[in-house]
Structure 1
């Protein structure tokens, strides 16, 4: 029941591939249970494996995802690890951990390391039927490392030191426990002082799994996944008037009112002393895989998730030109979340008159209990050049417990019409029961703000794949999906007229792999529409689902083996996205015809690597990434300027260990990677040049 050959599993050399293969021969775990590889699927699925992330010095999921075609990410502390894909952002991209969705990503996602992961898969657009109602941008799935039978005992150690007192330590081990059992454990700890004053951060992630073969046809896997983190306290650098600035940072932002970022404030932290941005997460899963007869596979996953998250900060910084001071707010929010559920898939592969037919029947159940406590105490003012941190102050708590119960049925089918042609059909029907209560600080139930709603979204996917050569396919698909209202169903109130949004996407594409993997490339063209998104009716302060958003574009990715030791690869994405009739419900801004925030028209990247360039066991590689202009707000009055980053590495590699030097942002470029729409008066500037010396060993 493994996807790798025994020869692959026995390869213990520390072999990192900076220029990644596109994973066309891999069987993705995201979006489908048909058991077909990426070449055979009528969808776009990007895969980046652990060897590539290690070679490029990518430490987090956001860094790794940005190395895939057309993906943009940000590390806003209000919404850790937000993404932009195909013209859609934030909760329009589902975030998965081993195929399970914890909830809206802006409420549940945390920065994640890659040491504990086998790979990251990104499914583009709606049509992913197995992870809740399909979202407009797609899904990002973090696949943790698992035990494998017949693999000998292995140990892995990783340690690195970098700029800003940054260190990273990882330990992994796996192997047999008798003839019919195996284990895998990985632990990673990171810590940094940060490049902005008083922005220490820390993260601990432990993943562990046990695999038992209970019979020739039955496997049982038990796994646990624990995360404890404390995020940096940097919420951005305030935009100030040009008259007050003495050293404006050129080429990073352009505003319609002349405000700028000042180098004098770049490394200043405006948060309070007793700030808080921490969490504790625990996943527990039990998966049984049974092969009762030839052509049948029954897989059942029982899961449980709990999380505590806490934010207590001065988050919003607005420059008051009249008194040359920074106005600071106060905001705190605490999450107490429990999620449990079950995923059942029955897979049947049959032969109909010499033509293969693959069918999946799925049944998913989940329940979320989500308690959200928050408050908005009074703020204060501080000196821009020498802010006095101060304390947060008293906390008056408003609470909103929410329960969401979901029962979904899933059907997938792939029929082989001819030796070269397959047709695909998939559908998902959800019965979603939402119960939202609201209480004031005295604990009084607020009936007028509390409500119950039922949703019954129906999503489907039609697709076709034609293999025109042994290493090439063309495909097309038409898929539908649904986003939560305002992208986050946990934030709406009773007086709002809302439903789920409706999404449609048409996509055609090409996938080609050369013999022996000497080259691979993919091409995808897409056109999507999202209707019934939030439109604010300002005269009565309510919202209705009447707005729209569209996106269309092209994505290219490729790699080539230039010689036995040299590789080159790259990506290119163009996205043309805009709002139809749309008024932002948070600020009342009419964004009709505007481009969505954090959506560049162009994103491109390229990597080249060489092994043993001078006859020594040394690998070297250089990569660049270009991101075009984006807007940081709905009304498109703050432009984040385009930037190009260059990264490089050099590694001395032997059979079982590797010593590497990675340099990020080689030319110390000033840039802004992301704009938080809820903090339009400040921007988080990207990290300066950083370096890391690492040691990696496998035994």
Structure 2
């Protein structure tokens, strides 16, 4: 950790010490598209209602920069302007405002997501197009200040980055320097209830006419809305862009994160007769257990708890365009992380003692990850037919050492808990080494000006070595293994432009999930293979003739087969299936010069067709997967220039229908509606905002952690935030 911190310190000093910049030549066409006007624009009035951006090119899995209207898949973008206008401080909050996405913030699995009927590691999470591994094991909460935008691709729609998974991809894209821009500085600060604060500073500009830099620093901290749940996050993203020649540029970047998560593992369920003040409207249980208002803000964790991490990305990316029809992109990367959890995580009411029985669990990660991504993109003619060919070669090496232990627990009074200490650490080591190599080929054929067809295939070779040791450091032969996986994925998709402002598309795609969705946790007694995923999707995208209204809709059916199934009490294999069907819709409209409205909804029907859960031995056949609601809806409006003043008012409503927290479907989280509102005043280059979150003070539970069935994480109460933003 010390070495990591020193490296970031010197990076920070280097960028802060750069000389003042002066105006340079116009931005080169090969550089990222970001004008100086956009960089310095502080008037973000109306941005709270998100543009669907159908005429823009997304950055994720789009090497030929096709517009969103042309792409034969469901894709969404929320940019930094919209995230700032809505007061969205984390990637989790930003993703939840897109179509059909819900999430949870359990410290066990920060930023878990549910999309299109599948959850957790069925969602690939990327940082600038690179996947670390299973999100449930590697993901941390990330801020939005350091980001240019967040992009989501739904379903197994992309062959880039990794074997496609059932839910899709969430890609966090950090801010980058631009050749030719003048210097600019951005400042942001916010303060709200529970002593929650955040600040950010960004600086970008040229060093020479061929060299530009950018550095963004963000820190957030809070005392938490539950007792003794202090948290903080500190993130630096720094990069330097060198235009070596008109056809070659190189980007060196660093991304550092140091965080400590809130130690809130949920409020325990207790029998209704024991409860002093039952909370209604949050949860229904088959056994009559309830949540108690007098336990709502109690923390049942230990005094010396830990949920912290330190991460450092180092990347160098080369973009080379040897001709007008050939582009080559190569990214060499290294990632290192230390993560630590040491907590009392599970709280189970004991009817014999009327106490809460607490466990003890600790786990430490030493995570090293490095590799290379090479993409070759060629535009060419075969006869009179134009083709766009992409060839991808990926290699990655993972060294992941996991030390864990389960010391004896204790019991505490539900109403007057005594924190206590963790106890001894008797470690069991489980090092995992994974070598991944993949080749991807995709060809897009433009049959005419309006119709194109894409066919792609991806082949992965994954060599996995998993070792297990007991508390005494003795190698456990029967639990350790070596194995090579060779999943193959393919995709057939087509888009047709019916008119200039209306397109239809369809696609059939396949993909694979690792066993249990997390290859880092499997053992030799699990006779496993990768699951098989298939998806059929049809969609429509349209823009009104005047460009003021945008709409997208999609219907899909996704099936996952050969998922993990309990075979005996101590072994599992591949069997069972899960299916999800749904419809998604999004719209954005400008009603007048000052009025904007937008919204989206998703309807999902998901169930296990044949499934015996291996973690709990539960027959879930015919049941709905945990954390999958039938309905998810969002709506936003904004109006600016009120009474001729630079004043903007706006707000949003989010609705989530009922969903279950377990495979038995015996615990149900009730539907809820959250209302947010904001007011903002812009004066020259200063914007002052007031954001009211959960303005109706709704009590609700956003997520149920399947591994903690006896407790529920309740969302924070109403909070009002005052913030400012300026650029100069």
- Structure 2 length as normaliser, TM-score? 0.95
SS at match of 1:580: strand
Q: Residue 284 of structure 1 is aligned with which of 304, 314, 328?
A: 314
TM-aligned CA deviation for residue 10 of structure 1: 5.8
The CA deviation string for residues 22-60 of structure 1, in whole angstroms up to 9 with x for no partner, is 122232222343321211111111110000010001000
Match of 1:172 in 2: 202
Match of 2:7 in 1: none
SS at match of 1:517: coil
2:266 matches 1:236: yes
- Distance in 1 between the 2:497 and 2:662 partners? 44
Match of 1:530 in 2: 560
Moved more, 29-38 or 407-416: 29-38
Q: Residue 620 of structure 2 is aligned with which of 578, 587, 591?
A: 591
- Distance in 2 between the 1:380 and 1:262 partners? 21
Match of 2:305 in 1: 275
SS at match of 1:443: coil
Alignment of 1:91-490 (within 5 A): 91-352=121-382, 355-490=385-520
Match of 2:23 in 1: none
Moved more, 283-292 or 540-549: 540-549
The CA deviation string for residues 58-93 of structure 1, in whole angstroms up to 9 with x for no partner, is 000000000000000010110000000000000000
SS at match of 1:291: strand
Contact 1:233 1:275 in 2 (8 A): yes
- Distance in 1 between the 2:391 and 2:699 partners? 51
TM-aligned CA deviation for residue 133 of structure 1: 0.7
Match of 1:637 in 2: 666
- Distance in 2 between the 1:9 and 1:648 partners? 25
The CA deviation string for residues 383-434 of structure 1, in whole angstroms up to 9 with x for no partner, is 0000010000011111100001011001111111011100011111001100
Contact 2:39 2:184 in 1 (8 A): no
- Distance in 2 between the 1:639 and 1:114 partners? 32
The CA deviation string for residues 530-572 of structure 1, in whole angstroms up to 9 with x for no partner, is 001111023x421011011000000000000000011000001
- Distance in 2 between the 1:12 and 1:55 partners? 13
- Distance in 1 between the 2:43 and 2:211 partners? 25
- Distance in 1 between the 2:252 and 2:376 partners? 20
Contact 1:126 1:481 in 2 (8 A): yes
- Distance in 2 between the 1:169 and 1:332 partners? 32
The CA deviation string for residues 320-372 of structure 1, in whole angstroms up to 9 with x for no partner, is 12221000000000000000000001111224555432111110000000000
Contact 1:3 1:27 in 2 (8 A): no
TM-aligned CA deviation for residue 215 of structure 1: 0.7
Contact 2:514 2:530 in 1 (8 A): yes
SS at match of 2:665: coil
2:526 matches 1:496: yes
Contact 2:375 2:393 in 1 (8 A): yes
- Distance in 1 between the 2:605 and 2:465 partners? 37
The CA deviation string for residues 200-232 of structure 1, in whole angstroms up to 9 with x for no partner, is 000000000000000111000000000000000
Question: What is the aligned length?
Answer: 698
- Structure 1 length as normaliser, TM-score? 0.99
The CA deviation string for residues 419-471 of structure 1, in whole angstroms up to 9 with x for no partner, is 11000111110011000011111111111111001000111110010001111
TM-aligned CA deviation for residue 9 of structure 1: 4.1
TM-aligned CA deviation for residue 127 of structure 1: 2.7
SS at match of 2:644: coil
2:727 matches 1:698: yes
- Distance in 1 between the 2:571 and 2:59 partners? 40
CA RMSD across the alignment: 1.1
SS at match of 1:38: coil
SS at match of 1:292: strand
Deviating above 6 A after TM superposition, structure 1's stretches of 4 or more consecutive aligned residues are none
SS at match of 2:621: coil
Moved more, 285-294 or 343-352: 343-352
Contact 1:32 1:128 in 2 (8 A): no
TM-aligned CA deviation for residue 4 of structure 1: 2.8
Match of 2:706 in 1: 677
Q: 1:8 to 1:479 in 2, by over 3 A?
A: farther
SS at match of 2:372: strand
Unaligned runs of at least 5 residues, structure 1: none
2:635 matches 1:609: no
SS at match of 2:82: helix
